[in-house]
Amino acid sequence: MSSSPSPPLPFPPHLVIPLVRSTLHDRVAGVLVGSALGDAIGLYTEFLSAPHAAAAYPTRKFTLTGPPHATPFKLDAHRAPKEAGHWTDDTDHALLLLLSFLHTARTETVGHDAPPPLPTQTDLAARLRVWVTQGLRVLDTMPLGLGRLVGTVVASAGFDTEPERVAREYWERTGKRVAPNGSLMRTHPLGVMCLFRGEEEAFEVAASISRVTHVDPRCVVACVIGTGLLRALVRGEVQGEGDMDALVERAVEWHRREGKGEGQELEVEELWRHVRSSGGLEDLKLDDQAAMGYVYKTLGSGVVLLRMAMKRIAASRGGLLDRTRLFEILITDLIMRGGDADTNACFAGALLGGYLGYSFLPDHWKHGLKHGEWLLSKTDALCQVLRLKDGEYSGKEDKDTEIHGGRPELRQDEMEGRWMLLQQATVRKMEETAKATSSKVTGLGWSLPWQSKEKKKR
């Protein structure tokens, strides 16, 4: 185990052995698709308690394909607007970062020793502003799952030009108490983008991107740890728990030294209680209604799951171990504990995907992911930019990377019409299900986004 930070790798990568290049490509795809799968599977139990999740899905089996069809949701107003295999706002926000990075990237002009520029605070702010009002335009999807903190900060005056200042003012105004997981859920692409950069540069961009909306030091250090872990996993530098603990220590020390004066000291013991949970997932109490969106719960659940994967692989001692089943078993165990299940599994899925690789993600999940082929095409574009895959790519020529995804900007009346259509379709779906099960529809709990009392704090 090394306690020193890892240096950047040469760029373009000097990968003489094709197998190494292929392995890195597989891990990059594992991060991006694994996180989206965790998000989509986590939606099944999001906001449920563990007992309610067990009652709703007694078999603990989930499929996004068939036969005969994908596992149906426990139908309620939260899940009814979605179809099985849809990811949520967690992956949407991560994709804003990926598209921002790709927009400025061109394989043919990348220098021999410098990777393309990383996303900036102002570009992410502009893309978040569009998402909040119009959804993910490139896929023409709605902005479902908007959290209280993000919604308030993004709507504030000055956010476009000074997002960190606006986020800090909101944090101070609300008493510096709330540390939700809304920045951690989006930062996993940064670990891949920093593959050929130094560790401390990865820490710096993770902190900067967190502060676009979340400036609480617990949110910032969680993003620093998550980005560092993902970078190191893809590079093959985190092989065991000792490597992981050393990286967490370096991230905490970096934050102590470079934390930009958040004005609040980290309680390091509290952080370690979550990422070294002696009782595993049970001790994290993920379905605690009062704290389910706490950033350390999401960070801890991902790190604990990664520890479990490493222990099982080590215990096999080179013997037969179905790693495809390992991803499915661990993510299922996590989401059946309820709480903010989609966000917890989104982050954990990124870590496990980076550790195991895309090849070991379960087929009956990844082949049922809505927009899965599109996501793979963007993953391939990223790998081309990183020189892990043959081919040429120019973000300026890829309209998907534009801030409106190559689509026209929607007017407010057009969005209101879309919300009404979605509301009608949701009510109709619930009524049809109620008739089929001879049950009574009550308490739909549905409202337009500007009328709702959002459950999440992120």
Residues annotated within the binding site for Mg(2+) are 88-90, 340, 342-343
User: What are the structure tokens assigned to 6, written together?
Assistant: 């890892």
Give the residue from 284, 388, 397 showing the smallest Cα distance to 341. 284
Residue 445, classified by CB atoms within 10 Å of its CB into exposed (0-12), middle (13-18) or buried (19+), is exposed
3 state SS of 106: strand
Write phi, then psi, for 105 (nearest 5 degrees). -100, 140
3 state SS of 146: coil
| Rounded Cα–Cα distance for residues 102 and 117 (Å) | 9
Question: CA-CA distances (angstroms) from residue 402 to 191, 299, 324, 412?
Answer: 22, 31, 35, 20
Whether the Cβ atoms of residue 340 and residue 9 lie closer than 8 Å to each other = no
Give the residue from 151, 154, 150, 133 showing the smallest Cα distance to 142. 133
Give the residue from 292, 285, 296, 163 showing the smallest Cα distance to 217. 296
Binding annotation: 88-90, 340, 342-343
Which conformational region is residue 439 in: left (phi greater than 0), alpha (psi within -120 to 50 degrees), or beta?
beta
Among the residues of 236-370, which ranges form H helices? 241-258, 268-275, 281-284, 295-316, 323-335, 341-356, 363-366
User: What are the structure tokens assigned to 28, written together?
Assistant: 């990059």
- CB-based contacts of 135, cutoff 8 Å, min separation 6: 92, 141, 142, 143, 144
